[in-house]
Chains A and B, each alone.
Chain A
Amino acid sequence: MQHCTPEQLALAALREPLPADDAAHLADCDRCRAEVASLQRAVDAVAVPQLAAPGPSVPPPPRVWDAIAAATGVSATPSPAPVAEEPPEPVAEVLPFRSRRRPVLLVAAAVVAGAVVGAGAVAVLQDRDDGEAVTAVALDPLADNDASGRAEVVLRDDGTRVVEVDLDAPALDDGYYELWLIDREVVGMVPLGVVTPGSQTFELPADLDLGQFPLVDVSVEPLDGDPTHSGVSVARGELDA
């Protein structure tokens, strides 16, 4: 088959999962793998948790400001103390040791590294009793929401497909979460059903083309009897298949 596109090789260097065809090609193609490896040197250099976006805030001791004031000659004093200024924002809340991309990241790394690390890491997606995971996507919080999770499309041994969703989201006082597959224009939508925080499985309609509805979307729906999307999405991811 054809080589992977340069864009896809760049995504592979970032350890994003590729569509199945490209992933299969990459595993066998020395040229494409060499390209990924050469792009990955920069990725690996900074892909350390210590450089990730700020996590928990730690107020420095007062002597730190004293040293800054001495070095800069600035006589103003910070007030109030830094400890009072913690913004509880989900955007800054990247936990250094629990990567949202890690589950799929392992698979991409295994594809790139081939037999070397492949045996153990590939099991994350493929070693199942009931079928084969074909693609997985992180559900990222939208706007200021706390909802996030992961969706995995599994091709079962009997030929049916299911979406396994792991949703991490606050319980709702009124209303409920609903899972959708949506097209790129955000016009066509396939409702898959009510989803609650935790893990659950949704069967996919037999002939549904996931390429046509690649967005996995979690919405908050009011109890108003209206079957259409409320327009309030809290988490979303895009399937690459």
Chain B
Amino acid sequence: MSLLAVRPGDMGSVRPVVTDPGEARPGAPDPDDRELGRRFAAGDEQALALAYARFAGQIHGMAVRAFGPGPDAEDVTQQTFVSAWTGRAGYRPDKGPLPGWLVGVARHKISDTWARRDRQRRETEAAMSEAQAAPGRRVTAGVDTQVADRVLVLEELDLLGQPQRGIIELAFFEDLTHAQIAARTGIPLGTVKSHIRRTLERLRTRLEVDGAALHA
């Protein structure tokens, strides 16, 4: 007994609904996720509607988890699909499944909403402080560093190639250990570890360079 029946899973954050082209639902001419991703990238309007039908529940579920049901969550879901559609040139079907990419876009929208709220909070506080302070004295409220860092980290993740991006996303967002990532992806343990190291170094550099600028 030397080979155990373990097959590596997908690298994307979300398991596609239908992965096997031969597994299409009976009577439904629906494309599988791979084909749907290609059509989406090519600008097929039906593909946007179909992607919404398939994945809006998951995306909206994330948005509701972040903001509760209501206008903020609905805005995030709406912005995710609108941005994904207008930015579809940035989606590369060969780099990962469409639902995983949509989840990545949704993370940006959630993070941007937090950053916007933080900015509004600071403006409000600054206005109140200035109203109370002596004339001519400038008072600024502090930036929430973590909110700002979050936007930068998500930006930098977009710039990563594969398999680095898939590996760090499994660690960050699916809470997998490096051993679990190796088991999931079939990438050797040592390679997973060195990718994690290099990616964290890269993120640290980004935060040190651009994060510091926020406080200047």
Binding site for B on A (CB under 8 A): 6-7, 9-11, 13-14, 16, 38-39, 41-61, 63-65, 67-68, 71-72, 74-83, 85-87, 89, 91-92, 94, 96, 99-101, 137-138, 140, 142-143, 184, 186-187, 189, 217, 219, 228-229, 231-233, 236-238, 240
Whether B6 contacts A55 by the Cβ 8 Å rule is no
B 1-31 binary contact with A (CB < 8 Å = 1; else 0): 1111111011001111100000000000000
Query: Which of B58, B85, B86, B177 contacts A57 (CB under 8 A)?
Result: B58
- Minimum C-beta distance from B181 to chain A (A): 9
Whether B154 contacts A46 by the Cβ 8 Å rule is yes
Whether B200 contacts A96 by the Cβ 8 Å rule is no
Whether A59 contacts B60 by the Cβ 8 Å rule is yes
Query: Which of B17, B53, B69, B207 contacts A41 (CB under 8 A)?
Result: B207
- Minimum C-beta distance from A177 to chain B (A): 14
Whether A74 contacts B58 by the Cβ 8 Å rule is no
Name the CB-closest residue of A to B157: A46
- Interface contacts (Cβ under 8 Å), in number, total 229
Name the CB-closest residue of B to A83: B57
Name the CB-closest residue of A to B53: A78
Whether A51 contacts B173 by the Cβ 8 Å rule is yes
Whether A143 contacts B196 by the Cβ 8 Å rule is no
Binding site for A on B (CB under 8 A): 1-7, 9-10, 13-17, 45-46, 48-50, 52-62, 64-66, 69, 73-74, 77-78, 81-82, 85-86, 103, 107, 110-111, 146, 149-150, 152-154, 171-180, 183-184, 189, 193-194, 196-197, 200-201, 203-204, 206-207, 211
Whether B154 contacts A79 by the Cβ 8 Å rule is no
Measured between alpha carbons, how far is A94 from B175 in the docked complex, in Å? 8
Whether B49 contacts A78 by the Cβ 8 Å rule is yes
Query: Which of A52, A72, A219 contacts B175 (CB under 8 A)?
Result: A52
A-B contact pairs, 29 of them (CB 8 A): A10-B200, A11-B178, A13-B200, A14-B171, A14-B200, A45-B150, A45-B153, A46-B173, A50-B65, A51-B150, A52-B173, A52-B174, A64-B74, A68-B48, A78-B53, A79-B49, A85-B55, A87-B17, A91-B174, A94-B174, A101-B177, A140-B177, A140-B180, A143-B7, A143-B9, A217-B4, A232-B5, A238-B179, A238-B180
